[in-house]
Chains A and B, each alone.
Chain A
Amino acid sequence: MAKFIDRLLDPDAQQEEGQRQVNLRRLPGWVGWIAIVLIVAIYLVSGIYTISPSEEGLVKRFGRFVRTVDPGLHYRLPTPFESVVVVNILEVRKSEIGFRTISPAPNPRYQTIETEALMLTGDGNIAHVEMVVQYRVNDSSLFAFHLIDSATIVKQAAEAVLREQVATKSLDETLTEQRDTIGIESRLALQELLDSYGTGILIANIQLQDVKPPKEVISAFDDVNSARQDKEKLINQAERYALDLVPRARGEAQEIGNQAEAYKQSRIKGSEGDVARFVEVLAKYELGEEVTRTRIYIETMEEILPGMDKIVLSGHEDGLLKLLNLDSMGGGQ
């Protein structure tokens, strides 16, 4: 072939060398034409390309972006006229702050990056915050033509935004109720920042992973939790004590009240009983006062005197002695 080129470039040389190209000239002329057609065909076919379903194709003509193409089989003018840049627009990319995934699921292992995870809170404390940013391409032409290292830019912007957010919160807020707010606000701020850079990136999701006190002070924080438990425990014990004691006392009070009531009733009934007999007797007494008085007197004497040791002293000594119970007198002295 080099000979042909020489001849083309130098017409004089063609004349001289003409006689030496006999062998080639013997081939029929149409072989050359077929070769030309084949070369042109191959060249034109090289412009066929496919875009897979998750991708978008950006066609450049002489370096200038001219059109976007959807997934499928497409044709572009061959090099150097047109070229295609393919951007995956569905792939969710991930940026990790404060840790790295060393081995993915199903047995994930993570490594903490202390210098990234530790950050100052608004009240001058230090918190350990880990975050995952998930993002994807939103504007493929910006992403492809306006950005060099998307991963680094996203990561740095995310770090800056996260630290700015945490710096507005106290440590306690960061660890507890404001945790979700930090995630939400970081997402908005990061999106705004990336938009201001013109990156064509959409933040799909931001998740705060581990949010905890630095490991240097974690034992003190754990102790606060156990102190909280202790407090609950003390209160519960006290409540148990109170719940045990007060009802018992109320029972005892009932008992005292009932005993008093019983006493009262017994006194009343007793007195009524006592009085009832007296009233009966009095009614009879009024029928014949002197007779009844005597009768009661004598009846009483009859009732009590038998059980007694009796000594009757009389003016008549002899007569009296007869009445003495000598046995019991002897025993008594």
Chain B
Amino acid sequence: MRSLAIFVGIVLIAVIAFNLFTFTVDETRKAVVIQFGEIVRIVELPGLYSKIPFVQSVTYLEDRILNYDIQPQEVLTYDQKRMVIDNYAIWRIDDPQLFVETTGGRLVGGQSKIDEIVYSDLRNILAKHTLDEIVSAERVEYLREVTELSRAKLLNGFGIFLIDVRIKRADLPSEIEQAVFSRMRSERERIAAQLRAEGEEQARQITSNADKEVVIILAEAQKDAEKVRGEGDAQALEIYAGAYNQDPDFYRFWRTLESYKVALATDTRIVLSSNSEYLRFLESMLGQ
């Protein structure tokens, strides 16, 4: 059992010594070694490092990219319109020494610096542009400007590297929003009215066109019909004339007699002179 006791003792000593004389820096972190309140060493790469026990203490810093959702802020645009800007910042700790010295190594400390600087830069930049510009695709450009400006200040002042600033939301204050809604409504009403009027327009075009076509078709038909009738009349006259001109005198005689058959056929009372051509012989016979 003596061997077991020795073994356990060695393990314990090893564990204690390991914790006292070394420290481990994870992939996700950086570390600063502080001795009597002074930063004596900065560890940027992960691995196992040694330290002097009791004299030196280690402060770990986050080395991953950090996401800070900045509180929505109201800004005034160049054309004096108020906008609520909800943005976020992506950042990481770049200079551990400066960061620890200026913020005490706490993330919230870094966030409050980002808050101040980004907000003031954002407000300044956006104040140079109109609402329409801010809403447009140009926005990316303005944000790049904000990022550049803030990045320099944060890096030099606090050891913070600002990766990006983005506007999540750029909303209009509610009264402007209502104005936009009512403009959208009236625009749609205009489009609806226009569509209906266009429908009416085209419908009338179609119906009146049809009406016109009908009138033209009928008039055309009437015209053609009159022409055809005239041709008939003309041809008939020609035929009559061609035949009757062979002997106009006989035609007059024959046609007159023919017409008697029709004109005098019924309900006619006639007083004949016995001297007439037809009764001449009757008279002569009576006279004898």
Contact = CB atoms under 8 A, between A and B. Distances in A.
Interface of A: 1, 4-5, 7-9, 24-25, 27, 29, 31-33, 35-36, 39, 60, 62-65, 80, 115-116, 118-122, 124-126, 141, 144-149, 152-153, 156-157, 159-160, 163-164, 167-168, 171, 193, 196-199, 213-214, 216-217, 220-221, 223-224, 226-228, 230-235, 237-239, 241-242, 245-246, 248-250, 252-254, 256-257, 259-261, 263-268, 270-272, 274-275, 278-279, 281-282, 285-286, 289, 293, 296-298, 300-301, 303-305, 307-316, 319-320, 332
B27 A63 contact: yes
Contacts of A250: 217
Contacts of A298: 278
Nearest to B237: A271
Interface class of chain A by DSSP? helix
Q: Is the interface of B mostly helix, strand, loop or mixed?
A: helix
Given A80-B18, A257-B224, A282-B250, A160 B166 contact: yes
Interface stretch (B2-10, B95-103, B119-127, B152-160): B2-10
B261 A303 contact: yes
Contact of A272 (B18, B62, B66, B239): B239
Interface stretch (B34-42, B51-59, B108-116, B207-215): B207-215
Nearest to A270: B236
Contacts of B232: 263-268
Contacts of B25: 63-64
Given A29-B2, A167-B135, 6 more contacts: A29-B3, A63-B46, A148-B62, A148-B66, A265-B232, A305-B270
Closest 4 CB pairs of A and B: A264-B232, A231-B199, A260-B225, A253-B221
A171 B191 CA distance: 14
B94 interface: no
A32 B65 contact: no
A152 B210 contact: no
Contacts of B214: 245-246, 248-249
A271 B243 CA distance: 10
Contacts of B286: 314, 316, 319
A312 B279 contact: yes
A256 B272 CA distance: 50
A213 B184 contact: yes
B239 A268 contact: yes
Interface residues of B, number: 123
A239 B239 contact: no
Contacts of A234: 196, 199-200, 202-203
B250 A230 contact: no
Interface in B158-176: 163-164, 166-172
A58 to B, nearest CB: 8
Contact of B6 (A8, A125, A282, A320): A8
Nearest to B165: A160
A144 B29 CA distance: 12
Nearest to B215: A249
B211 A237 contact: no
Given A1-B8, A167-B137, A241-B210, A60 B203 contact: no
B208 to A, nearest CB: 9
B269 A296 contact: no
10 contacts: A33-B4, A220-B184, A224-B191, A241-B210, A272-B239, A274-B240, A293-B253, A311-B271, A315-B283, A332-B269
Contacts of B184: 125-126, 171, 213-214, 217, 220
Contacts of A149: 67
